[in-house]
């Protein structure tokens, strides 16, 4: 009986893990913006107190990664997304954390924690107090990626980890 319960629990965990890597909310196919919608605009503060608005990046493609300090998959990918952020490419990399939302630390605790993270010195981390922007982007789990074209159209959101090579390939298809 105990083995059967453990097997059911393990099967459930596997199904949940696989669903986090699903195809996500496809807003449009490939590089076409036909049927795409405008990305939700935001104005957020980074860890140094500098304000960033999506409008600041008008005319540029933007990759947005939503993540959380408690998410082991997110933490395992921090160094990789940091590498992407410092590379010369045709898109901007922004990351968003939501203090006080879905079990994330409050702002001060997050800042203190992040100061000890050595794997991500080049990341722009924006603070989405209370998760309003995460809600607007329909983030259901962490990590989640959002691909925005140069005209501000949200091309795709994708839950689960996405490697740098896949991100670069995706942006190569986006005009």
Q: How far apart are CA 29 and CA 101, in angstroms?
A: 31
Cα 138 from chain centre: 11
Question: At 62, is the secondary structure helix, strand, or coil?
Answer: strand
Q: What is the pLDDT of residue 175?
A: 83
Distances from the Cα of 173 to the Cα of 29, 59, 125, 128, angstroms: 9, 16, 26, 29
Q: What is the pLDDT of residue 56?
A: 95
CB 130 within 8 A of CB 100: yes
Q: Is the full-model pTM beyond 0.95?
A: no
Q: What is the pLDDT of residue 35?
A: 55
Tell me which DSSP letter residue 92 carries. E
Q: Domain extents for the chain?
A: 23-172
Of 129, 105, 117, 38, the residue nearest 81 (C-alpha) = 117
Q: What is the pLDDT of residue 7?
A: 45
User: Can you give the pLDDT of all 175 residues of the chain as single tens digits?
Assistant: 545 554 454 444 443 443 443 333 333 333 334 457 899 999 999 999 999 999 999 999 999 999 999 999 999 999 999 999 999 899 999 999 999 999 999 999 999 999 999 989 999 999 999 999 999 999 999 999 999 999 999 999 999 999 999 999 999 999 8
Domain 23-172 has CATH 3.40.50.300: no
Tell me which DSSP letter residue 96 carries. E
Count the neighbouring beta carbons within 10 Å of the beta carbon of residue 98: 25
């Amino acid at each position: 009986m105990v083995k059967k319960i453990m097997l059911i629990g393990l099967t459930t965990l596997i199904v949940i893990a696989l669903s986090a890597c699903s195809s996500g909310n496809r807003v449009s196919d490939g590089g076409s913006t036909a049927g795409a919608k405008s990305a939700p605009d935001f104005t957020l503060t980074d860890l140094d107190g500098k304000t960033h608005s999506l409008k600041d990046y008008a005319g540029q493609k933007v990759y947005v990664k939503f993540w959380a300090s408690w998410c082991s998959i997110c933490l395992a990918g921090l160094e990789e997304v940091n590498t992407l952020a410092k590379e010369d490419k045709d898109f901007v990399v922004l990351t968003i954390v939501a203090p006080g939302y879905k079990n994330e630390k409050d702002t001060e605790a997050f800042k203190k924690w992040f100061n000890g993270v050595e794997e991500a010195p080049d990341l722009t981390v924006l603070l989405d107090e209370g998760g309003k922007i995460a809600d607007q982007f329909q983030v259901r789990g962490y990590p989640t990626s959002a691909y925005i074209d140069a005209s501000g159209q949200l091309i795709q959101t994708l839950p689960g980890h996405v490697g740098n090579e896949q991100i670069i390939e995706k942006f190569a298809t986006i005009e």
